Structure 1
Amino acid sequence: MKVVYEAANLIDAHLVRHALEAEEIPVFLRGEQLLGGMGELPLFGVVAVCVPDVVFPQAQAIVTALPLTQGEAGEADDDLLQGHEGWMPA
């Protein structure tokens, strides 16, 4: 098994998992069970999406095509607030 994606959180890991499983690629989420034991402290790099070695190139192409990263933090928020000057979300 090779790691095809290091997830920032469980939601990202499951989004990648479902995209890969839709293409009939078997997926294993490493570290998913550890999230409940972390308590209030955030840990990074705990959840990884793993695939068999033989399908790694195909899986990597699928993950690369997914819109998981929006660039620098805040860029996506700036796009959403465009035209709403003076308005701040709660």
Structure 2
Amino acid sequence: MLQIAYRARDITEAHIVAGLLKANGIEAFVGGHYLQGAMGEIGAAGFSNVHVDDDDFYRARQLVAEYEASAGGSACRVPDADDDRPDHYARWFLLALAIVGLLLFEVY
């Protein structure tokens, strides 16, 4: 099973962190490509995540912590143990999408 090792600001940073993990022998997967595209050119944040296997999660968190320390206090963070819930931004995006869908359904 995959766990979120890092929540990136954008897809580019997610790939940078995934590359760091892969360079250290940890297979990493970047998720959130399609969610970023759904927001268009707004520059959505909080949709790009780096996933790793359960076995590699602890080592990945260590590497990410080192990355954040060297990045000078990045706004992104390693998720806490109880931080396995949907993103706040995703909820608002889905709510807005549902409202627009309902409005379009009523018009047509």
TM-score (norm 1): 0.69
1:32 aligns with 2:21: no
- What is the match of residue 6 of structure 1? 7
Give 4+ residue runs of structure 1 displaced > 6 Å after superposition: none
Q: Is 1:17 aligned with 2:18?
A: yes
Q: Does 1:54 align with 2:55?
A: yes
Tell me, in whole angstroms, the C-alpha distance in 1 between the residues paired with 2:32 and 2:74: 26
More helix by percentage: 2
In the alignment, the residues of structure 1 paired with residue 59 and residue 73 of structure 2 have an alpha-carbon distance, to the nearest angstrom, of 24
What percentage of residue pairs aligned between the two structures are identical? 33
SS in 1 for 2:41: coil
Residues paired across the two proteins, number: 72
Between stretches 3-12 and 33-42, larger displacement belongs to 33-42
> Any idea what the Cα deviations from partners look like across 1:54-87, whole Å, max 9, x if unmatched?
110011111111123x2388xxxxxxxxxxxxxx
User: Which residue of 70, 73, 78 corresponds with 1:71?
Assistant: 73
Gaps of 5+ in 1: 74-90
Q: 2:10, 2:44 within 8 Å by CA — same for their partners in 1?
A: no
